Amino acid sequence: MSWDDIIRPDLEPLVPYAPGLRASQVRERSGKDLVLKLSSNEHPCGPVPIALAAMREVLPRMNRYSDGGCTALRRKLSERLGVPAETVVVGNGSNEILRLIAQVVLRPGDEVVFAWPSFIVYPMVTAIFGATAVKVPLAEGDTLDLDAMLAAITPQTRLVFLCNPNNPTGTIYRKEAFERFLAAVPSHVLTVVDEAYFEFVTDSDYPDGLDYFDGDRPIVIARTFSKIYSLAGLRVGYAICPPNIAEALHKVREPFNVNTVAQIAAYYSLDDEVEVRRRRKENQEQKTYLYSCFDRLGIKYARSETNFVYFHTSRPVEVFEALLSEGVIVRDFGNAPALRVGIGTPEDTQMTIAALEVVAARLGKL
């Protein structure tokens, strides 16, 4: 018997997702007690108090399956967003939503257009369902080049992923560019607008994907509770989709794909808008401090609408390791000449800035 006869051979080139280093691993390696994990774009504050209390209350009822239809959460999202409940699909993280979309749309030989670098899950789901990735380089300023993405669309294109703001660069495309894209994108293409960092955005020219959603146009907006709501470990995200797409997603998703604690936490998180506003403001202030450090050290960076900043360095491996030895875990991209650092609490920012200064003093120009 050969496993090659059993396992799909086209999966061979795929590699399992490599999570960043854990703080405990780095604590051991660096000997530092205080280690900051700023590599996964998590929020430092944890779930809002009202969500935490609701989670504790529901724990004794874990003998029961979750509500497979996510009824209460979908209803609340639909009211909050002003869309019919049947257009809202909740997933085990927005990651699951992206995968389900690929599953219901892609056939072997189809093409999927996305920018690069962008979110690592787009090439993964493309390959899993036997489609071909068409990667469009970012434009000057590390932003998505929507005109080039349009030009990359062929009769074989079935899906376009637009990450706005983009991970890992934190940049956005603006209303005018998006409207030009929507006016020209052919009707055989489903456009998925991934707005995982939506709640952090402050730029008034940011096109909120929902403003372009009418239930008819082939466009899906994906969002998550993992970032500003700080529920990454629970896994809950959602999509607003045309009803036909929503129906297809329900056909292929697991019956109880979102656990009860996640549903309850997400439901109550929506009640604390004051805290969301506070988090957005604090994030903005911390980014400004970090920018001033980058400016001082002559480091080139992309202005970010998210809770992370992408910065350029000709020595990514050395800088990554040097920051690690200062107890700061950032995200690297192999040998690509850039790193991504998350925004944490004000204390985290101070420690990040101190670490960058030590590293710059040690290595010279970064």
Ligand X SMILES: Cc1ncc(COP(=O)(O)O)c(C=O)c1O
φ/ψ (deg, to 5) at 156: -85, -10
CA distance 11 to 276: 40
Q: Does 94 bind ligand X (CB under 6 A)?
A: yes
Strands 219-224 and 190-194, sheet pairing: parallel
Minimum distance between the CB of residue 226 and ligand X, rounded to whole angstroms?
3
Of 124, 136, 132, 122, nearest to 173 by C-alpha is 136
Minimum distance between the CB of residue 163 and ligand X, rounded to whole angstroms?
5
Minimum distance between the CB of residue 180 and ligand X, rounded to whole angstroms?
22
Q: Does 126 bind ligand X (CB under 6 A)?
A: no
Minimum distance between the CB of residue 95 and ligand X, rounded to whole angstroms?
3
Strands 338-342 and 308-312, sheet pairing: antiparallel
Interacting span for ligand X (CB under 6 A) from 68-76, 90-98, 324-332, 345-353? 90-98
**Residue 219: alpha-carbon gap to chain centroid:** 18
Minimum distance between the CB of residue 41 and ligand X, rounded to whole angstroms?
5
Element (H, E) at 190: strand 190-194
Interacting span for ligand X (CB under 6 A) from 87-95, 182-190, 199-207, 345-353? 87-95
Of 44, 47, 93, 207, the residue at the interface with ligand X (CB under 6 A) is 93
Q: Does 305 bind ligand X (CB under 6 A)?
A: no
Q: Does 316 bind ligand X (CB under 6 A)?
A: no
Of 73, 160, 192, 196, the residue at the interface with ligand X (CB under 6 A) is 196
Residue 302: what residue type?
A
Q: Does 163 bind ligand X (CB under 6 A)?
A: yes
Element (H, E) at 49: helix 49-58
Q: Does 238 bind ligand X (CB under 6 A)?
A: no
Residues 6 or more apart whose Cβ sits within 8 Å of residue 192 = 98, 101, 159, 160, 161, 162, 219, 220, 222
Within residues 32-51, the interface with ligand X by CB under 6 A covers 41
Residue 285: what residue type?
E
Interacting span for ligand X (CB under 6 A) from 91-99, 108-116, 172-180, 311-319? 91-99
CA distance 68 to 53: 22
Q: Does 95 bind ligand X (CB under 6 A)?
A: yes
Q: Does 170 bind ligand X (CB under 6 A)?
A: no
Minimum distance between the CB of residue 125 and ligand X, rounded to whole angstroms?
11
**Residue 213: alpha-carbon gap to chain centroid:** 20
> Is the distance from CB of 310 to CB of 20 less than 8 angstroms?
no
Q: Does 194 bind ligand X (CB under 6 A)?
A: yes
Q: How far apart are the first and last CA of the chain?
A: 53
Interacting span for ligand X (CB under 6 A) from 200-208, 224-232, 261-269, 278-286? 224-232
CA distance 263 to 76: 11
Interacting residue ranges for ligand X, rule: CB under 6 A: 41, 93-95, 119, 163, 167, 194, 196, 224, 226, 232, 237
